[in-house]
Structure 1
């Protein structure tokens, strides 16, 4: 039996396919359209899923959409009504948009543009989709499930308990009380894009001190059931016509940071203007640190209560807030729980979660298979890569022996070269886990600045992740107990401390606050990547390499050889490895 899950119409659309309950393909549409966070119908992602299975649309038994549109529209109406006539323009524009884009009847669009019978289309609620992705990909038979995001139909948070054959909802929280929207409001105030740049706030937080925590945290009232109430004076969540915060927030903390403002905490010169600029940057970093700490404290309350209410220390999480790797590290350390976080925790993951939830809760198929590999996207054969190289007149070397290729790439890394790395199937979710990565030497103290400024063209406060051999990780990082290949550390979903005695050895993957968002690598899930790190370790004595996603700022991670070559040529990368082909730039 084939079940196709779909998410689209908000941001980061995706498709995922199950065969007899097993995940065989999953991809975000942005990888094909090259539009970051592509919101449209995932036409090409669906095509990829069907091709992977070798089937046509009429062989798919069920098509599951990740939320219920009429419930979502009901929330929009109810939110706008109390603000009339002030919300009239927002309300009218929303109705026109929904009609024009066919949002009321996604099954009609699925039938017309994807070729599936509308009779096969079913719907599950947004937070049910998140719960499905969280629990049904986990290694647990029993677990507390926490889903937390901006907003689904009405819900912004849910706590459930899973025990074998059932998922029982214990409590939930509705808009306007939203931890995700709280974080997004400050994301906007800090000059970043909502639903896209929240991770930049985490990076900025490392440069600040949470000196406004005592001022902001009282806005939350923590409830005994694990939920909370959020004072709405500073926020505009119900009818966000312009920005998600009010004038009151500006009165309290001043004018918002202008987008693209250079960020520096060390003066570039001795001028009074530069001193004032640095002071302002530090102020914004302190705000970021403060709202990050608030988010962590609320999540500690939510997850801690979920553990107490269920009597279970296995915790599964999904929803966009579950991508907050700083908070996840604290959850693991302070609650002493076993944590599973679905790597595609945001709306893209809702596609897979919808299919899994429907299979489990509606069709009563209780097979529950842990998902240990996120390499679920499209692969490209050497023949395709060679055709791309020839069509772009790019000189290359072909290696028939993978061992020789690995040895040469490790040598180049140890010599200080920055290398684009494209292998096998691309990753499911927002993290590059060694199949669509840019790799570099973490021991070079200048490497972070080099990659940020000349290759990624991004803000200097954003850190890079260390990829480390799993059996050597504890030497370099305070990761705590590791229980299975499903743990967050295998998917860059948890921040931990770099051991103090090792920080000088791997400076380019050690953030300013002494932390790192680590990726553990084992040979079973990615043997080529594992062997590369092992070879680098032989040359340098360091079983760690620097890993960042293979893309330029503002673009999706690369999909195929053409994408990889374009990014390679447009940046100051030294080399690229595409399958069995090595390219070295003649500078």
Structure 2
């Protein structure tokens, strides 16, 4: 049985393919369109996933959509969406020059038939379509990838149809959600509101607030406690006097700045210690609430295993505290815990319900996207007269050469095999550097990534040697937990201000080449650890194909690019390519940067 899962028309659309219940491919639409958080029907991801596994559209038994459009529309209409009725269904935007571009508006999006129509018209699929509710898709994305025989289920995000937090259980027989918290009371919306108040982009920069929190003190925890009240059982509620989810130009009411005695920070303004303290207070209040609700879940359904998903599950600091202080022995969070991962969950739950069978296999490898023929890249480089080193059939030499480049201070683009699924680069589309170089973090932040200096970089380490360098005794293949660095002074480029690091453990059996590079660097330096950040520039998705990688390599001013078995050095780039080094203007994401997108 072949089931395709679709997440689309909200934000971060994606496609996933299951064959007989086994996940074989998944990809984000943004990687192909190069538009960050692309929300459109994932036509390109759909084609790429089917093509990679050798399927035709007629092979598909079911398409599963990740939310109930009718329930979602009911919530949108309940909210009122001011101005929708007066807004034309289509607007022409001439600002880009040339032909006008059709802009979607609220009225166009208030259409519960749109997902089904676009699956038919844009994907060309004519078979049966099944619908999975949003939080069911989240929960299923974690459970069916966990390898558990049974599990408690916890989901937390901004909002699905109506649910914002859900509690449930799953086993070989069924997956069921037994309780939920409903909109507008939402942990995700609480975090996004303060993200906006602190001058960062909603739907995008919540992880920046998480990073900023480590530098502050929670001296506003009392004020943050005024925003949300923990209730008995699984419920909690936001104090709505401080929020505005009614479709205005901001998510918070004027009473919120009054509560803190602090005006909202504008994007681009200096980050002050008071902003760090607000972020720290938010993080603590959220963690306390999560621990309370997860404790309730344990009392409700029992067991010692937890499957956890939803956008809130991408907060790796909170995840570490849940592991350390929560009631569960084993926790699984899948790498695309946000809406994109709903494509996996929708397909997996649909398969379980239709086929009645369950594949128990723990997901350890997020490289679920397409791979590309580097032979074509070799031909293009030859045609362009670009000098490169070809290590075909000599993997050991390739790893040794790359490790020596990094040890000598080079920043390297690393492009290998299938593309990762989820927001983290995990060794397939990565930028790598020496974690021992104190200046490396500032160098990459300022020159390569063009991002805020306070944001940390993550280390990748062989799984079997992790405990030597980090206070961590579990696996973290998807960079979803933090750990204290044992010798922080020797690893300044990957150590955050609080002595922690967002950790990736690499198993040899999962990614032998990346594991081999880490080990080779360890033989040279004594530290089998590399700084690992995503292969992209600010405001852009992670690179997808070799052309993206070459363009980003030139524009980022990286020192070397490893494309499969080929190494291209910066000094070998033709002078005629220099025009590509010009900084490309920042492109905003395809969702609002000031407000959570409710439609």
User: What TM-score do the two structures reach when normalised by structure 2?
Assistant: 0.90
> Contact (CA 8 Å) 2:165, 2:180: kept in 1 or not?
yes
CA pair 297-566 structure 1, distance change in 2 beyond 3 A: same
Per-residue deviation, 1:300: 0.7
State yes or no: 1:249 paired with 2:256: yes
Q: Which moved more, 1:94-103 or 1:107-116?
A: 94-103
Trace 1:523-542 onto structure 2 (pairs within 5 A).
Answer: 523-542=508-527
Counterpart residue number, 2:358: 366
Q: Deviations over 1:252-278 (max 9, x none)?
A: 232211112344xxxxxxxxxxxxxxx
**Partners of 1:168 and 1:555 in 2: CA distance:** 37
Per-residue deviation, 1:49: 1.3
Per-residue deviation, 1:393: 4.7
**Partners of 1:67 and 1:94 in 2: CA distance:** 26
Per-residue deviation, 1:70: 1.2
State yes or no: 1:331 paired with 2:339: no
**Partners of 2:296 and 2:383 in 1: CA distance:** 58
Counterpart residue number, 2:560: 575
Counterpart residue number, 1:194: 202
State yes or no: 1:165 paired with 2:173: yes
Q: Deviations over 1:69-110 (max 9, x none)?
A: 111010011122xxxxxx641565498836535842211111
State yes or no: 1:153 paired with 2:161: yes
**Partners of 2:315 and 2:532 in 1: CA distance:** 19
Counterpart residue number, 1:3: 3
Counterpart residue number, 2:423: 430
Gaps of 5+ in 2: 91-104, 573-599
Q: Secondary structure at the match of 2:225?
A: helix
Q: Secondary structure at the match of 2:403?
A: helix
Q: Deviations over 1:33-76 (max 9, x none)?
A: 01110111101100011112212112111011111111101001
Per-residue deviation, 1:221: 2.2
Trace 1:404-443 onto structure 2 (pairs within 5 A).
Answer: 404-443=397-436
CA pair 497-333 structure 1, distance change in 2 beyond 3 A: same
Q: Secondary structure at the match of 1:187?
A: helix
Gaps of 5+ in 1: 81-86, 264-280
State yes or no: 1:304 paired with 2:334: no
Counterpart residue number, 1:345: 337
**Partners of 1:395 and 1:298 in 2: CA distance:** 56
Q: Deviations over 1:504-553 (max 9, x none)?
A: 11111000111100000111110000000000000011011110000001
**Partners of 1:567 and 1:110 in 2: CA distance:** 32
> Contact (CA 8 Å) 2:152, 2:305: kept in 1 or not?
yes
**Partners of 2:383 and 2:3 in 1: CA distance:** 38
Counterpart residue number, 1:144: 152
Q: Secondary structure at the match of 2:240?
A: coil
Give the count of matched residue pairs: 554
Counterpart residue number, 2:455: 462
Counterpart residue number, 1:266: none
Q: Secondary structure at the match of 2:138?
A: helix
Counterpart residue number, 2:215: 207
> Contact (CA 8 Å) 2:5, 2:346: kept in 1 or not?
yes
Q: Secondary structure at the match of 1:518?
A: strand
Q: Which moved more, 1:70-79 or 1:214-223?
A: 214-223
Q: Which of 502, 517, 525 is the equivalent residue of 1:517?
A: 502
Trace 1:471-490 onto structure 2 (pairs within 5 A).
Answer: 471-480=464-473, 482=474, 487=475, 489-490=476-477
Q: Which of 341, 347, 351 is the equivalent residue of 1:355?
A: 347
**Partners of 1:247 and 1:7 in 2: CA distance:** 35
Counterpart residue number, 2:63: 63
Trace 1:375-386 onto structure 2 (pairs within 5 A).
Answer: 375-386=367-378
Trace 1:262-277 onto structure 2 (pairs within 5 A).
Answer: 262-263=270-271
Trace 1:35-46 onto structure 2 (pairs within 5 A).
Answer: 35-46=35-46
RMSD after superposition: 1.7
State yes or no: 1:18 paired with 2:22: no
Q: Which of 481, 489, 492 is the equivalent residue of 1:504?
A: 489
Q: Which moved more, 1:369-378 or 1:349-358?
A: 369-378
Counterpart residue number, 1:34: 34
State yes or no: 1:495 paired with 2:502: no
Counterpart residue number, 2:102: none
Q: Secondary structure at the match of 2:490?
A: coil
Q: Secondary structure at the match of 1:89?
A: coil
Q: Which moved more, 1:358-367 or 1:153-162?
A: 358-367
Q: Deviations over 1:231-284 (max 9, x none)?
A: 1111112x2331111111122232211112344xxxxxxxxxxxxxxxxx1111
